Structure 1
Amino acid sequence: MLDQLYLTFLVLSRTHSYTKTAEQLYISQPAVTQQIQRLEEKLGLKLVYYHRPNLKITQIGEELADFLQRTNVQSQQLLERLQTPNKFREINFSTTRSLSEFLAPQLIEEIAARDAFRKISCHVGNTEQALTAVRTGKSQFALVEGNFDKNKFGYKIIRSEPFIAVVSGHHVLTQYRSLTWSDLVKTPLLVREEGSGSREILASLARAENVSLSDFEHLIVISEPLLIRRLLLGGVGISFLYRSLVEEQLKNKQLVELSMLDNGQTAHDLYLIYAKDSYFKEDYEEWVDVLK
Protein backbone atom coordinates (compact mmCIF):
# COMPACT_ATOMS: atom_id res chain seq x y z
CA MET A 1 0.00 0.00 0.00
CA LEU A 2 2.92 2.31 -0.73
CA ASP A 3 2.32 5.39 -2.84
CA GLN A 4 3.91 5.48 -6.30
CA LEU A 5 7.05 7.44 -5.37
CA TYR A 6 7.98 5.09 -2.56
CA LEU A 7 7.10 2.01 -4.60
CA THR A 8 9.32 3.17 -7.45
CA PHE A 9 12.22 3.77 -5.09
CA LEU A 10 11.73 0.37 -3.45
CA VAL A 11 11.94 -1.39 -6.82
CA LEU A 12 14.97 0.71 -7.81
CA SER A 13 16.73 -0.26 -4.56
CA ARG A 14 16.41 -3.90 -5.65
CA THR A 15 17.29 -3.56 -9.34
CA HIS A 16 19.90 -0.77 -9.14
CA SER A 17 18.77 0.06 -12.66
CA TYR A 18 16.41 2.73 -14.02
CA THR A 19 15.77 0.56 -17.08
CA LYS A 20 14.86 -2.58 -15.13
CA THR A 21 12.75 -0.57 -12.71
CA ALA A 22 10.82 0.94 -15.60
CA GLU A 23 10.25 -2.52 -17.08
CA GLN A 24 8.94 -3.93 -13.80
CA LEU A 25 6.60 -1.00 -13.22
CA TYR A 26 5.51 -0.70 -16.88
CA ILE A 27 6.48 2.96 -17.07
CA SER A 28 9.14 4.86 -19.04
CA GLN A 29 12.70 5.28 -17.83
CA PRO A 30 12.40 9.11 -17.71
CA ALA A 31 9.33 8.64 -15.49
CA VAL A 32 11.40 6.58 -13.05
CA THR A 33 14.10 9.26 -12.95
CA GLN A 34 11.54 12.00 -12.37
CA GLN A 35 9.82 10.09 -9.56
CA ILE A 36 13.10 9.44 -7.74
CA GLN A 37 14.05 13.12 -8.05
CA ARG A 38 10.62 14.15 -6.72
CA LEU A 39 10.97 11.80 -3.76
CA GLU A 40 14.44 13.15 -2.91
CA GLU A 41 13.11 16.72 -3.09
CA LYS A 42 10.07 15.81 -0.98
CA LEU A 43 12.20 14.20 1.75
CA GLY A 44 15.21 16.49 1.47
CA LEU A 45 17.45 13.41 1.32
CA LYS A 46 19.95 12.00 -1.18
CA LEU A 47 18.78 8.45 -1.87
CA VAL A 48 20.75 7.44 -4.97
CA TYR A 49 23.84 8.50 -6.89
CA TYR A 50 25.09 7.43 -10.28
CA HIS A 51 28.73 6.52 -10.71
CA ARG A 52 29.05 5.22 -14.24
CA PRO A 53 28.37 2.52 -15.02
CA ASN A 54 26.71 1.72 -11.68
CA LEU A 55 23.79 3.19 -9.79
CA LYS A 56 24.35 3.20 -6.02
CA ILE A 57 21.89 3.51 -3.15
CA THR A 58 23.11 5.76 -0.32
CA GLN A 59 23.22 4.48 3.24
CA ILE A 60 20.16 6.58 4.07
CA GLY A 61 18.50 5.15 0.96
CA GLU A 62 19.26 1.59 2.10
CA GLU A 63 17.69 2.27 5.49
CA LEU A 64 14.60 3.74 3.84
CA ALA A 65 14.34 0.81 1.43
CA ASP A 66 14.50 -1.69 4.32
CA PHE A 67 11.76 0.22 6.13
CA LEU A 68 9.58 0.37 3.03
CA GLN A 69 10.03 -3.35 2.43
CA ARG A 70 8.99 -4.20 6.00
CA THR A 71 6.06 -1.81 5.84
CA ASN A 72 4.91 -3.19 2.50
CA VAL A 73 5.04 -6.79 3.73
CA GLN A 74 3.24 -6.01 6.98
CA SER A 75 0.53 -3.98 5.22
CA GLN A 76 -0.13 -6.89 2.85
CA GLN A 77 -0.32 -9.31 5.79
CA LEU A 78 -2.73 -7.05 7.67
CA LEU A 79 -4.91 -6.45 4.63
CA GLU A 80 -5.16 -10.18 3.96
CA ARG A 81 -6.10 -10.83 7.59
CA LEU A 82 -8.80 -8.15 7.50
CA GLN A 83 -10.24 -9.28 4.18
CA THR A 84 -10.24 -13.01 4.97
CA PRO A 85 -10.26 -13.37 8.78
CA ASN A 86 -11.08 -17.08 8.61
CA LYS A 87 -8.37 -17.95 6.10
CA PHE A 88 -5.55 -20.20 7.28
CA ARG A 89 -2.49 -18.12 8.10
CA GLU A 90 1.09 -18.55 6.88
CA ILE A 91 4.24 -18.56 9.01
CA ASN A 92 7.53 -17.56 7.42
CA PHE A 93 10.58 -17.46 9.69
CA SER A 94 14.37 -17.81 9.67
CA THR A 95 16.66 -19.66 12.04
CA THR A 96 20.37 -19.99 12.52
CA ARG A 97 21.92 -23.37 11.74
CA SER A 98 22.64 -24.12 15.39
CA LEU A 99 19.10 -23.36 16.50
CA SER A 100 17.68 -25.29 13.54
CA GLU A 101 18.69 -28.47 15.36
CA PHE A 102 16.86 -27.98 18.64
CA LEU A 103 14.66 -24.85 18.75
CA ALA A 104 13.26 -24.69 15.22
CA PRO A 105 11.95 -28.30 15.22
CA GLN A 106 10.19 -27.62 18.52
CA LEU A 107 8.54 -24.52 17.07
CA ILE A 108 7.51 -26.19 13.81
CA GLU A 109 5.95 -29.10 15.70
CA GLU A 110 3.90 -26.68 17.77
CA ILE A 111 2.77 -24.65 14.75
CA ALA A 112 1.93 -27.79 12.76
CA ALA A 113 -0.28 -29.01 15.59
CA ARG A 114 -2.51 -25.96 15.23
CA ASP A 115 -5.19 -26.09 12.56
CA ALA A 116 -5.00 -22.33 11.95
CA PHE A 117 -1.79 -22.49 9.92
CA ARG A 118 -1.85 -23.51 6.28
CA LYS A 119 1.80 -23.02 5.31
CA ILE A 120 5.05 -23.00 7.31
CA SER A 121 8.30 -21.78 5.70
CA CYS A 122 11.59 -22.10 7.59
CA HIS A 123 14.81 -20.63 6.17
CA VAL A 124 18.11 -21.86 7.64
CA GLY A 125 21.30 -19.80 7.52
CA ASN A 126 23.71 -17.99 9.82
CA THR A 127 22.91 -15.12 12.17
CA GLU A 128 23.80 -12.43 9.64
CA GLN A 129 21.47 -13.95 7.04
CA ALA A 130 18.63 -14.29 9.56
CA LEU A 131 18.96 -10.64 10.61
CA THR A 132 18.92 -9.54 6.97
CA ALA A 133 15.79 -11.61 6.27
CA VAL A 134 13.91 -9.90 9.10
CA ARG A 135 15.26 -6.45 8.27
CA THR A 136 14.11 -6.70 4.65
CA GLY A 137 10.76 -8.34 5.45
CA LYS A 138 11.59 -11.67 3.83
CA SER A 139 10.98 -13.39 7.18
CA GLN A 140 8.38 -12.45 9.76
CA PHE A 141 10.70 -13.31 12.64
CA ALA A 142 13.88 -15.27 13.34
CA LEU A 143 15.51 -17.48 15.95
CA VAL A 144 19.06 -16.26 16.53
CA GLU A 145 22.00 -16.37 18.92
CA GLY A 146 24.96 -14.07 19.06
CA ASN A 147 25.11 -10.29 19.06
CA PHE A 148 22.85 -7.94 17.09
CA ASP A 149 21.89 -4.27 17.25
CA LYS A 150 19.01 -4.26 19.74
CA ASN A 151 18.05 -0.74 18.69
CA LYS A 152 17.14 -1.99 15.21
CA PHE A 153 14.95 -4.99 16.09
CA GLY A 154 12.17 -6.01 18.40
CA TYR A 155 13.16 -9.08 20.39
CA LYS A 156 12.42 -11.44 23.24
CA ILE A 157 14.86 -13.69 25.09
CA ILE A 158 13.81 -17.32 24.73
CA ARG A 159 16.26 -18.76 27.24
CA SER A 160 19.90 -18.87 28.20
CA GLU A 161 21.87 -21.80 26.75
CA PRO A 162 25.27 -23.14 27.97
CA PHE A 163 28.05 -22.73 25.38
CA ILE A 164 30.70 -25.35 26.08
CA ALA A 165 34.05 -26.77 24.96
CA VAL A 166 33.62 -30.30 23.56
CA VAL A 167 35.91 -33.11 22.37
CA SER A 168 35.64 -36.82 21.65
CA GLY A 169 35.44 -39.07 24.70
CA HIS A 170 38.75 -40.59 23.58
CA HIS A 171 40.58 -37.30 23.01
CA VAL A 172 43.84 -36.69 24.88
CA LEU A 173 42.47 -33.42 26.30
CA THR A 174 40.01 -35.38 28.44
CA GLN A 175 42.97 -36.43 30.61
CA TYR A 176 43.33 -32.87 31.93
CA ARG A 177 41.30 -31.85 34.98
CA SER A 178 41.20 -28.25 33.77
CA LEU A 179 42.51 -26.34 30.77
CA THR A 180 43.37 -22.81 29.71
CA TRP A 181 42.97 -21.32 26.24
CA SER A 182 46.73 -21.49 25.81
CA ASP A 183 46.51 -25.26 26.26
CA LEU A 184 44.20 -25.53 23.25
CA VAL A 185 45.99 -23.66 20.48
CA LYS A 186 47.88 -26.72 19.18
CA THR A 187 44.60 -28.68 18.87
CA PRO A 188 42.60 -28.37 15.62
CA LEU A 189 39.66 -26.01 16.23
CA LEU A 190 36.35 -26.71 14.45
CA VAL A 191 34.66 -23.36 14.00
CA ARG A 192 31.68 -21.93 12.14
CA GLU A 193 31.92 -19.53 9.19
CA GLU A 194 32.07 -15.72 9.26
CA GLY A 195 28.60 -14.31 9.96
CA SER A 196 27.75 -17.08 12.40
CA GLY A 197 26.61 -16.06 15.86
CA SER A 198 28.38 -19.09 17.36
CA ARG A 199 31.69 -18.02 15.81
CA GLU A 200 31.24 -14.46 17.09
CA ILE A 201 30.57 -15.74 20.62
CA LEU A 202 33.63 -18.01 20.47
CA ALA A 203 35.86 -15.22 19.19
CA SER A 204 34.64 -12.95 21.99
CA LEU A 205 35.39 -15.60 24.64
CA ALA A 206 38.89 -16.08 23.24
CA ARG A 207 39.58 -12.33 23.10
CA ALA A 208 38.66 -12.04 26.79
CA GLU A 209 41.66 -14.33 27.46
CA ASN A 210 43.96 -12.53 24.99
CA VAL A 211 43.69 -15.33 22.45
CA SER A 212 42.67 -14.99 18.79
CA LEU A 213 41.21 -17.71 16.60
CA SER A 214 44.21 -17.15 14.35
CA ASP A 215 46.43 -18.31 17.22
CA PHE A 216 45.21 -21.87 16.68
CA GLU A 217 47.67 -23.81 14.55
CA HIS A 218 44.84 -25.65 12.76
CA LEU A 219 41.54 -23.91 12.03
CA ILE A 220 38.80 -25.93 10.34
CA VAL A 221 35.90 -23.75 9.16
CA ILE A 222 32.57 -25.57 8.69
CA SER A 223 29.13 -24.09 8.13
CA GLU A 224 27.09 -27.07 9.35
CA PRO A 225 26.86 -27.98 13.07
CA LEU A 226 25.96 -31.55 12.10
CA LEU A 227 29.31 -32.00 10.31
CA ILE A 228 31.16 -30.44 13.24
CA ARG A 229 29.51 -32.96 15.55
CA ARG A 230 30.47 -35.86 13.28
CA LEU A 231 34.09 -34.74 13.15
CA LEU A 232 34.19 -34.39 16.92
CA LEU A 233 32.88 -37.95 17.25
CA GLY A 234 35.69 -39.03 14.94
CA GLY A 235 38.24 -37.46 17.25
CA VAL A 236 39.05 -34.47 15.04
CA GLY A 237 39.89 -31.53 17.26
CA ILE A 238 37.85 -29.41 19.63
CA SER A 239 34.81 -27.20 19.17
CA PHE A 240 32.59 -24.90 21.20
CA LEU A 241 28.87 -25.61 20.87
CA TYR A 242 25.54 -25.13 22.58
CA ARG A 243 25.01 -27.98 25.00
CA SER A 244 21.62 -28.84 23.48
CA LEU A 245 23.38 -29.68 20.20
CA VAL A 246 25.36 -32.48 21.83
CA GLU A 247 23.14 -33.45 24.78
CA GLU A 248 22.69 -37.04 23.62
CA GLN A 249 26.40 -37.58 22.87
CA LEU A 250 27.36 -36.15 26.27
CA LYS A 251 24.98 -38.53 28.04
CA ASN A 252 26.46 -41.61 26.38
CA LYS A 253 30.00 -40.22 26.81
CA GLN A 254 30.79 -40.19 23.09
CA LEU A 255 31.63 -36.54 23.62
CA VAL A 256 33.01 -34.88 26.74
CA GLU A 257 32.62 -31.35 28.04
CA LEU A 258 36.02 -29.91 28.95
CA SER A 259 36.62 -28.04 32.18
CA MET A 260 38.19 -24.65 31.50
CA LEU A 261 40.05 -22.54 34.03
CA ASP A 262 39.52 -19.45 31.90
CA ASN A 263 36.32 -18.08 30.38
CA GLY A 264 35.63 -21.16 28.26
CA GLN A 265 32.14 -22.03 29.43
CA THR A 266 29.34 -19.56 29.67
CA ALA A 267 25.63 -19.27 28.97
CA HIS A 268 24.31 -17.16 26.10
CA ASP A 269 20.86 -15.82 25.41
CA LEU A 270 18.85 -17.19 22.52
CA TYR A 271 16.44 -14.74 20.91
CA LEU A 272 13.31 -14.48 18.85
CA ILE A 273 13.64 -11.26 16.87
CA TYR A 274 11.22 -9.38 14.60
CA ALA A 275 10.96 -6.02 12.85
CA LYS A 276 11.10 -3.12 15.28
CA ASP A 277 7.64 -1.79 16.17
CA SER A 278 6.01 -4.57 14.18
CA TYR A 279 2.21 -4.56 14.12
CA PHE A 280 2.36 -8.34 14.65
CA LYS A 281 4.62 -8.15 17.72
CA GLU A 282 2.16 -9.97 19.99
CA ASP A 283 1.73 -12.80 17.47
CA TYR A 284 5.48 -13.39 17.31
CA GLU A 285 6.04 -13.15 21.05
CA GLU A 286 3.45 -15.89 21.56
CA TRP A 287 6.02 -18.37 20.22
CA VAL A 288 8.54 -17.41 22.90
CA ASP A 289 6.31 -18.98 25.56
CA VAL A 290 6.16 -22.15 23.47
CA LEU A 291 9.96 -22.35 23.16
CA LYS A 292 10.70 -21.68 26.82
Structure 2
Amino acid sequence: MLDNKIETFMMVAHLKSYTKAAESLFISQPAVSQQIRQLEEEFGVKLFNYEKRKLFLTTEGKELLKFAESVKVQTKNIKIKMKLSDKQSSPLNFATTFSLSNNDAWKIVDYYRNQRSKKIVCQTFNTQQCLEALNNGKIDFALIEGNFKQDDYDKVIIRNEPFIAVGKRGLGIEANKEYDLRELINYPLIYREQGSGSLEITRQILGMRNLSPIDFKQEYQIGSLSLFRRMLLDGVGIGFCYQCLLTDELDDGIIQKIKIKNMEVAHPISLVWLKGNDQLKEEIQVVKEILK
Protein backbone atom coordinates (compact mmCIF):
# COMPACT_ATOMS: atom_id res chain seq x y z
CA MET A 1 0.00 0.00 0.00
CA LEU A 2 1.26 3.49 -0.83
CA ASP A 3 1.34 6.32 1.69
CA ASN A 4 0.55 9.94 0.87
CA LYS A 5 4.18 10.94 0.30
CA ILE A 6 4.61 8.27 -2.38
CA GLU A 7 1.33 9.26 -4.04
CA THR A 8 2.53 12.88 -4.08
CA PHE A 9 5.90 11.82 -5.49
CA MET A 10 4.17 9.88 -8.30
CA MET A 11 1.99 12.86 -9.17
CA VAL A 12 5.02 15.17 -9.38
CA ALA A 13 6.89 12.58 -11.49
CA HIS A 14 4.04 12.25 -13.98
CA LEU A 15 3.19 15.95 -14.23
CA LYS A 16 6.85 17.11 -13.99
CA SER A 17 5.72 20.06 -11.89
CA TYR A 18 5.31 20.74 -8.16
CA THR A 19 2.65 23.36 -8.91
CA LYS A 20 0.53 21.10 -11.14
CA ALA A 21 0.86 18.25 -8.65
CA ALA A 22 -0.37 20.52 -5.85
CA GLU A 23 -3.36 21.56 -7.95
CA SER A 24 -4.25 17.96 -8.81
CA LEU A 25 -3.95 16.84 -5.18
CA PHE A 26 -5.76 19.92 -3.81
CA ILE A 27 -2.92 20.78 -1.44
CA SER A 28 -0.45 23.66 -1.31
CA GLN A 29 2.82 23.69 -3.23
CA PRO A 30 4.85 24.00 0.01
CA ALA A 31 3.11 20.83 1.25
CA VAL A 32 4.19 19.02 -1.92
CA SER A 33 7.76 20.24 -1.53
CA GLN A 34 7.82 19.18 2.12
CA GLN A 35 6.61 15.65 1.31
CA ILE A 36 9.24 15.24 -1.41
CA ARG A 37 11.91 16.50 0.99
CA GLN A 38 10.79 14.01 3.63
CA LEU A 39 11.00 11.16 1.09
CA GLU A 40 14.49 12.23 0.04
CA GLU A 41 15.60 12.32 3.68
CA GLU A 42 13.97 8.94 4.34
CA PHE A 43 15.75 7.25 1.39
CA GLY A 44 18.90 9.34 1.58
CA VAL A 45 18.83 10.20 -2.13
CA LYS A 46 17.85 13.04 -4.43
CA LEU A 47 14.65 12.23 -6.36
CA PHE A 48 14.39 15.23 -8.72
CA ASN A 49 16.75 17.62 -10.46
CA TYR A 50 16.12 20.83 -12.36
CA GLU A 51 17.79 21.17 -15.76
CA LYS A 52 17.18 24.36 -17.73
CA ARG A 53 14.19 25.10 -15.50
CA LYS A 54 12.63 21.70 -16.26
CA LEU A 55 12.06 19.00 -13.65
CA PHE A 56 13.60 15.56 -14.21
CA LEU A 57 13.71 12.36 -12.19
CA THR A 58 17.13 11.25 -10.99
CA THR A 59 18.21 7.63 -11.48
CA GLU A 60 17.06 6.88 -7.93
CA GLY A 61 13.79 8.69 -8.61
CA LYS A 62 13.14 6.51 -11.67
CA GLU A 63 13.73 3.38 -9.59
CA LEU A 64 11.30 4.55 -6.91
CA LEU A 65 8.67 5.43 -9.52
CA LYS A 66 8.97 1.99 -11.12
CA PHE A 67 8.56 0.30 -7.73
CA ALA A 68 5.63 2.54 -6.71
CA GLU A 69 3.77 1.91 -9.99
CA SER A 70 4.21 -1.85 -9.57
CA VAL A 71 2.84 -1.70 -6.01
CA LYS A 72 -0.09 0.41 -7.18
CA VAL A 73 -1.01 -2.12 -9.88
CA GLN A 74 -0.78 -5.05 -7.46
CA THR A 75 -2.84 -3.17 -4.85
CA LYS A 76 -5.54 -2.54 -7.43
CA ASN A 77 -5.56 -6.22 -8.45
CA ILE A 78 -5.83 -7.53 -4.89
CA LYS A 79 -8.64 -5.07 -4.10
CA ILE A 80 -10.61 -6.34 -7.09
CA LYS A 81 -10.09 -9.97 -6.06
CA MET A 82 -11.13 -9.30 -2.47
CA LYS A 83 -14.31 -7.53 -3.55
CA LEU A 84 -15.46 -10.40 -5.75
CA SER A 85 -17.69 -13.02 -4.20
CA ASP A 86 -16.61 -16.68 -3.95
CA LYS A 87 -18.83 -17.50 -6.90
CA GLN A 88 -17.01 -15.07 -9.11
CA SER A 89 -13.50 -15.26 -10.48
CA SER A 90 -11.35 -12.23 -11.15
CA PRO A 91 -11.61 -10.68 -14.61
CA LEU A 92 -8.94 -11.38 -17.20
CA ASN A 93 -7.70 -8.10 -18.72
CA PHE A 94 -5.21 -8.29 -21.54
CA ALA A 95 -4.28 -6.67 -24.83
CA THR A 96 -2.67 -7.74 -28.08
CA THR A 97 -1.14 -5.76 -30.89
CA PHE A 98 -3.17 -5.48 -34.09
CA SER A 99 -1.05 -8.07 -35.90
CA LEU A 100 -1.85 -10.68 -33.23
CA SER A 101 -5.51 -9.80 -32.72
CA ASN A 102 -6.95 -12.57 -34.88
CA ASN A 103 -5.32 -15.94 -34.20
CA ASP A 104 -3.48 -15.45 -30.90
CA ALA A 105 -6.13 -13.35 -29.18
CA TRP A 106 -8.80 -15.85 -30.22
CA LYS A 107 -6.83 -18.77 -28.74
CA ILE A 108 -6.76 -17.02 -25.34
CA VAL A 109 -10.41 -15.98 -25.42
CA ASP A 110 -11.54 -19.40 -26.64
CA TYR A 111 -9.65 -21.22 -23.87
CA TYR A 112 -11.09 -19.10 -21.06
CA ARG A 113 -14.53 -19.15 -22.68
CA ASN A 114 -14.59 -22.95 -22.41
CA GLN A 115 -12.47 -23.54 -19.32
CA ARG A 116 -13.21 -20.77 -16.83
CA SER A 117 -16.24 -18.72 -15.88
CA LYS A 118 -14.57 -15.35 -15.69
CA LYS A 119 -15.04 -11.98 -17.31
CA ILE A 120 -12.70 -11.51 -20.27
CA VAL A 121 -11.60 -8.06 -21.45
CA CYS A 122 -9.43 -8.13 -24.59
CA GLN A 123 -8.25 -4.89 -26.14
CA THR A 124 -6.25 -4.22 -29.29
CA PHE A 125 -3.53 -1.55 -29.43
CA ASN A 126 -0.23 -0.93 -31.13
CA THR A 127 2.95 -1.89 -29.26
CA GLN A 128 3.43 1.50 -27.59
CA GLN A 129 -0.19 1.66 -26.45
CA CYS A 130 -0.01 -1.89 -25.02
CA LEU A 131 2.96 -0.90 -22.87
CA GLU A 132 1.21 2.30 -21.73
CA ALA A 133 -1.86 0.25 -20.72
CA LEU A 134 0.41 -2.04 -18.68
CA ASN A 135 2.08 0.92 -17.00
CA ASN A 136 -1.30 2.44 -16.11
CA GLY A 137 -2.65 -0.82 -14.65
CA LYS A 138 -5.42 -1.09 -17.25
CA ILE A 139 -4.39 -4.61 -18.31
CA ASP A 140 -2.65 -7.57 -16.64
CA PHE A 141 -0.50 -8.62 -19.57
CA ALA A 142 0.02 -7.93 -23.26
CA LEU A 143 0.95 -10.00 -26.28
CA ILE A 144 3.22 -7.91 -28.49
CA GLU A 145 5.62 -8.37 -31.37
CA GLY A 146 9.01 -6.92 -32.09
CA ASN A 147 11.36 -4.86 -29.96
CA PHE A 148 10.53 -2.74 -26.93
CA LYS A 149 12.33 -1.23 -23.94
CA GLN A 150 12.37 -4.12 -21.49
CA ASP A 151 13.64 -2.53 -18.25
CA ASP A 152 10.21 -2.30 -16.59
CA TYR A 153 8.78 -5.62 -17.74
CA ASP A 154 9.02 -9.37 -17.41
CA LYS A 155 8.42 -11.41 -20.54
CA VAL A 156 8.16 -14.86 -22.04
CA ILE A 157 8.94 -15.35 -25.73
CA ILE A 158 6.15 -17.40 -27.32
CA ARG A 159 7.71 -17.84 -30.77
CA ASN A 160 9.67 -16.08 -33.49
CA GLU A 161 7.36 -14.83 -36.24
CA PRO A 162 8.58 -14.15 -39.84
CA PHE A 163 8.28 -10.55 -41.02
CA ILE A 164 7.76 -10.55 -44.78
CA ALA A 165 7.15 -8.39 -47.84
CA VAL A 166 3.77 -9.06 -49.46
CA GLY A 167 1.63 -8.07 -52.40
CA LYS A 168 -1.48 -9.26 -54.19
CA ARG A 169 -0.92 -11.97 -56.78
CA GLY A 170 -1.19 -10.37 -60.20
CA LEU A 171 0.65 -7.14 -59.43
CA GLY A 172 3.37 -8.18 -61.85
CA ILE A 173 5.74 -9.43 -59.16
CA GLU A 174 7.18 -12.87 -59.93
CA ALA A 175 6.72 -15.43 -57.16
CA ASN A 176 10.05 -17.18 -57.68
CA LYS A 177 12.24 -14.15 -58.37
CA GLU A 178 14.44 -12.66 -55.64
CA TYR A 179 14.24 -8.87 -55.84
CA ASP A 180 16.55 -6.11 -54.80
CA LEU A 181 14.23 -3.85 -52.79
CA ARG A 182 15.10 -0.90 -55.05
CA GLU A 183 13.47 -2.80 -57.93
CA LEU A 184 10.12 -2.37 -56.17
CA ILE A 185 10.10 1.39 -55.57
CA ASN A 186 7.76 1.89 -58.56
CA TYR A 187 5.02 0.28 -56.46
CA PRO A 188 3.06 2.19 -53.79
CA LEU A 189 4.14 1.27 -50.24
CA ILE A 190 1.53 0.54 -47.55
CA TYR A 191 2.91 0.71 -44.02
CA ARG A 192 1.76 0.92 -40.42
CA GLU A 193 1.15 3.80 -38.02
CA GLN A 194 3.47 5.55 -35.58
CA GLY A 195 3.95 3.52 -32.41
CA SER A 196 3.49 0.13 -34.07
CA GLY A 197 6.25 -2.47 -33.86
CA SER A 198 5.76 -3.21 -37.57
CA LEU A 199 6.61 0.37 -38.52
CA GLU A 200 9.92 0.24 -36.66
CA ILE A 201 10.92 -3.01 -38.39
CA THR A 202 9.86 -1.63 -41.80
CA ARG A 203 12.04 1.44 -41.20
CA GLN A 204 14.99 -0.79 -40.29
CA ILE A 205 14.58 -2.88 -43.46
CA LEU A 206 14.38 0.23 -45.64
CA GLY A 207 17.15 2.05 -43.78
CA MET A 208 19.62 -0.79 -44.27
CA ARG A 209 19.17 -0.18 -48.00
CA ASN A 210 19.28 3.63 -47.74
CA LEU A 211 15.58 3.85 -48.52
CA SER A 212 12.57 5.44 -46.85
CA PRO A 213 8.83 5.34 -47.64
CA ILE A 214 9.11 8.61 -49.58
CA ASP A 215 11.28 6.82 -52.18
CA PHE A 216 8.34 4.70 -53.35
CA LYS A 217 5.86 5.67 -56.07
CA GLN A 218 3.30 6.53 -53.43
CA GLU A 219 3.07 5.98 -49.68
CA TYR A 220 0.13 5.11 -47.45
CA GLN A 221 0.59 5.14 -43.67
CA ILE A 222 -2.37 3.22 -42.25
CA GLY A 223 -3.49 3.04 -38.62
CA SER A 224 -6.41 0.68 -39.22
CA LEU A 225 -5.42 -2.96 -39.54
CA SER A 226 -8.56 -3.84 -41.51
CA LEU A 227 -7.83 -1.01 -43.98
CA PHE A 228 -4.18 -2.13 -44.24
CA ARG A 229 -5.35 -5.66 -45.17
CA ARG A 230 -8.04 -4.35 -47.54
CA MET A 231 -5.55 -2.22 -49.46
CA LEU A 232 -3.22 -5.20 -49.90
CA LEU A 233 -6.12 -7.42 -51.00
CA ASP A 234 -7.27 -4.79 -53.50
CA GLY A 235 -3.77 -4.60 -55.01
CA VAL A 236 -3.15 -0.96 -54.07
CA GLY A 237 0.53 -1.64 -53.39
CA ILE A 238 3.05 -3.74 -51.49
CA GLY A 239 3.66 -3.85 -47.75
CA PHE A 240 5.61 -5.38 -44.88
CA CYS A 241 3.91 -7.30 -42.09
CA TYR A 242 4.07 -10.34 -39.85
CA GLN A 243 3.23 -13.55 -41.70
CA CYS A 244 0.51 -14.45 -39.16
CA LEU A 245 -1.48 -11.38 -40.22
CA LEU A 246 -2.22 -12.89 -43.65
CA THR A 247 -2.00 -16.64 -43.00
CA ASP A 248 -5.27 -17.52 -44.76
CA GLU A 249 -4.65 -15.21 -47.73
CA LEU A 250 -1.13 -16.59 -48.22
CA ASP A 251 -2.42 -20.18 -48.02
CA ASP A 252 -5.17 -19.40 -50.55
CA GLY A 253 -2.73 -17.72 -52.93
CA ILE A 254 -4.57 -14.38 -52.92
CA ILE A 255 -1.53 -12.70 -51.38
CA GLN A 256 2.02 -13.74 -52.23
CA LYS A 257 5.25 -13.39 -50.34
CA ILE A 258 7.76 -11.20 -52.17
CA LYS A 259 11.28 -12.55 -52.00
CA ILE A 260 13.76 -9.79 -51.11
CA LYS A 261 17.51 -10.27 -51.30
CA ASN A 262 19.17 -10.61 -47.90
CA MET A 263 15.86 -10.24 -46.06
CA GLU A 264 15.27 -13.09 -43.66
CA VAL A 265 13.62 -11.32 -40.74
CA ALA A 266 11.87 -12.88 -37.76
CA HIS A 267 10.99 -11.16 -34.51
CA PRO A 268 9.88 -12.52 -31.15
CA ILE A 269 6.24 -12.62 -30.09
CA SER A 270 6.38 -11.86 -26.37
CA LEU A 271 3.98 -12.21 -23.48
CA VAL A 272 4.73 -9.14 -21.34
CA TRP A 273 3.73 -8.00 -17.84
CA LEU A 274 5.00 -5.54 -15.23
CA LYS A 275 7.99 -6.58 -13.17
CA GLY A 276 7.14 -7.56 -9.62
CA ASN A 277 3.57 -8.66 -10.36
CA ASP A 278 4.00 -12.12 -8.83
CA GLN A 279 0.24 -12.69 -8.68
CA LEU A 280 0.29 -13.27 -12.45
CA LYS A 281 2.75 -16.17 -12.47
CA GLU A 282 0.10 -18.89 -12.65
CA GLU A 283 -1.94 -16.99 -15.25
CA ILE A 284 1.10 -16.37 -17.43
CA GLN A 285 1.99 -20.05 -17.40
CA VAL A 286 -1.54 -20.96 -18.52
CA VAL A 287 -1.49 -18.42 -21.37
CA LYS A 288 1.95 -19.60 -22.45
CA GLU A 289 0.64 -23.16 -22.77
CA ILE A 290 -2.41 -21.95 -24.72
CA LEU A 291 -0.21 -20.22 -27.31
CA LYS A 292 2.30 -23.04 -27.82
Task: Give the TM-score taking structure 1 as reference length.
Answer: 0.85
Shift of 1:271: 0.7
Kindly tell me: are residues 168 and 59 of structure 1, through their superposed partners in 2, closer, same or farther at Cα, counting changes over 3 Å? Answer: farther
Kindly tell me: are residues 13 and 121 of structure 1, through their superposed partners in 2, closer, same or farther at Cα, counting changes over 3 Å? Answer: farther
Any conservation in 2 of the 1:93–1:139 contact (CA below 8 Å)?
Answer: yes
Any conservation in 1 of the 2:99–2:244 contact (CA below 8 Å)?
Answer: no
Distance 1:131 1:22 in 2: 28
My pick for the range that moved more, 187-196 or 147-156, is 147-156
State the partner residue of 2:111: 110
Distance 2:50 2:123 in 1: 33
Give the root-mean-square deviation of aligned CA atoms.
Answer: 2.8
Kindly tell me: are residues 249 and 152 of structure 1, through their superposed partners in 2, closer, same or farther at Cα, counting changes over 3 Å? Answer: same
Shift of 1:149: 2.8
Any conservation in 1 of the 2:187–2:218 contact (CA below 8 Å)?
Answer: yes
- SS where residue 77 of structure 2 aligns? helix
Any conservation in 2 of the 1:111–1:117 contact (CA below 8 Å)?
Answer: yes
Letter of the aligned partner of 1:227 in structure 2?
Answer: L
Distance 1:59 1:179 in 2: 49
Identity of aligned residues (%): 35
- SS where residue 147 of structure 1 aligns? coil
- SS where residue 71 of structure 1 aligns? helix
Distance 1:47 1:111 in 2: 45
Any conservation in 2 of the 1:233–1:254 contact (CA below 8 Å)?
Answer: yes
Any conservation in 1 of the 2:46–2:58 contact (CA below 8 Å)?
Answer: no
- Deviation sequence 1:29-69 (CA, Å, 0-9, x none): 432231122223333213265987xx744254455334312
Any conservation in 1 of the 2:175–2:257 contact (CA below 8 Å)?
Answer: no
- Deviation sequence 1:99-149 (CA, Å, 0-9, x none): 12321222122223333423x223322111212222343321111111123
Kindly tell me: are residues 284 and 79 of structure 1, through their superposed partners in 2, closer, same or farther at Cα, counting changes over 3 Å? Answer: same
Q: Tell me, which stretches of 5 or more residues in structure 1 are unaligned?
A: none
Distance 1:203 1:16 in 2: 32
Distance 2:238 2:82 in 1: 53
State the partner residue of 1:275: 274
Distance 2:200 2:133 in 1: 19
Task: Give the TM-score taking structure 2 as reference length.
Answer: 0.85
Any conservation in 1 of the 2:49–2:58 contact (CA below 8 Å)?
Answer: no
Letter of the aligned partner of 1:284 in structure 2?
Answer: I
Q: Tell me, which stretches of 5 or more residues in structure 2 are unaligned?
A: none
Distance 2:152 2:245 in 1: 29
Shift of 1:190: 0.6
